[in-house]
Amino acid sequence: MIVYKSRSSVYFHVFFLIVLVNLIIFGTVVKASEIETATVEEADPENKEPKPYDPEQEVDIVINLEDETRYMGVTVYRIGDYDGERFTYSPEVLECLGKDYYKLSRESEIVSNAKYLEELIPETLILEGQDVNVEQGIGTADGLTPGLYLVVQNKADHNANLDAPYIVETPQWSEENLEWMYDLRTYPKWEREVWFTFRPQIVVPMVWGALLLLLVVFCFMGARVIRGVFMGCLFFLFGYLGLKLATMIDQFEAQFMWYFVIFLVFAFLGTGITWGIISVISSPLKKIRAHKALRKQLFWITSLIGAILIGLILHNIVFHKWLPSIGIAAGIGILGCIVQRLKRDREVRFYTYDDLLKLEEGDPRMDELMENLDA
Answer whether residue 361 shows pLDDT above 90. Answer: no
Instruction: Assess whether pLDDT exceeds 80 at residue 353.
Output: no
Homologous superfamily of the 59-192 domain (CATH)? Immunoglobulins (2.60.40.10)
What b/e readout covers 46-71, taking b as 16+ CB neighbours within 10 angstroms? Answer: eeeeeeebeeeeebebbbebeeeebb
* Nearest-angstrom CA–CA distance, 263 and 265: 6
Q: How far apart, in Å, do the first and last CA atoms of the chain sit?
A: 151
pLDDT tops 60 at residue 203: yes
Give Rg (Cα) of the chain. Answer: 41
Average confidence (pLDDT) over 9-34? 42
- In this prediction, residues 100-115 reach a mean pLDDT of 86
pLDDT at 69 over 90: no
270-309 tens-digit pLDDT? 888 888 887 787 777 666 555 566 666 777 888 888 899 8
Q: Is pLDDT above 70 for 331?
A: yes
Separation of alpha carbons 1 and 8, rounded Å: 21
Q: Is residue 4's pLDDT more than 70?
A: no
pLDDT band at 345 (very low <50, low <70, confident <90, very high): low
Mean pLDDT, rounded, of the chain: 76
Q: Is residue 201's pLDDT more than 90?
A: no
What CA–CA distances, in Å, run from 292 to 285, 286, 303, 314, 322? 9, 8, 18, 33, 36
Residues 362-372, mean pLDDT to the nearest whole number: 61
Of the spans 25-34, 115-124, 329-338, which averages the highest pLDDT? 329-338
Higher pLDDT, 19 or 157: 157
Mean pLDDT of 107-114: 88
Long-range contacts (CB closer than 8 Å, 24 or more residues apart) made by 371-375: 372/348
212 Cβ contact partners less than 8 Å away, ≥ 6 residues apart: 310, 313, 314
User: What is the separation of C-alpha 27 from the centre of its chain, rounded to a whole number of angstroms?
Assistant: 65
CA distances from 146 to 115, 140, 150 (A): 22, 15, 13
Band of residue 232 on the pLDDT scale cut at 50, 70, 90:
confident
Segment among 88-97, 117-126, 251-260, 276-285 with least mean pLDDT = 251-260
| Averaged pLDDT, 227-250 | 74
3-class DSSP string for the chain: CCCCCCHHHHHHHHHHHHHHHHHHHHHHHHHHHHHHHHHHHHHCHHHCCCCCCCCCCCEEEEEECCCCCCCEEEEEEEEEEECCCCEEECHHHHHHHCCCHHHCCCHHHHHHHHHHHHHHCCCCCCCCEEEEEEECCEEEEEEECCEEEEEEECCCCCCEEECCCEEEEECEEECCCCEEECEEEECCCEEECCCCCCCHHHHHHHHHHHHHHHHHHHHHHHHHHHHHHHHHHHHHHHHHHHHHHHHHCCCCCCCHHHHHHHHHHHHHHHHHHHHHHHHHHHHHHHHCCHHHHHHHCHHHHHHHHHHHHHHHHHHHHHHCCHHHHHHHHHHHHHHHHHHHHHHHHHCCCCCCHHHHHCCCCCCHHHHHHHHHHHC
Most confidently modeled of 234-243, 287-296, 309-318? 309-318
Contact 59, 184 (CB under 8 A): yes
Going by pLDDT thresholds of 50, 70 and 90, the confidence category of residue 191 is: confident
Q: What is the pLDDT of residue 357?
A: 62
How high is the pLDDT of residue 7?
43
pLDDT given at position 35? 29
Q: Is the pLDDT of residue 234 over 90?
A: no
- Residue ranges per domain, the chain? 59-192, 200-355
pLDDT score recorded for residue 42: 38
If you average pLDDT over each of 148-152, 199-203, 209-213, which comes out highest?
148-152
Q: Which of 123, 126, 81 is nearest to 100 (CA)?
A: 81
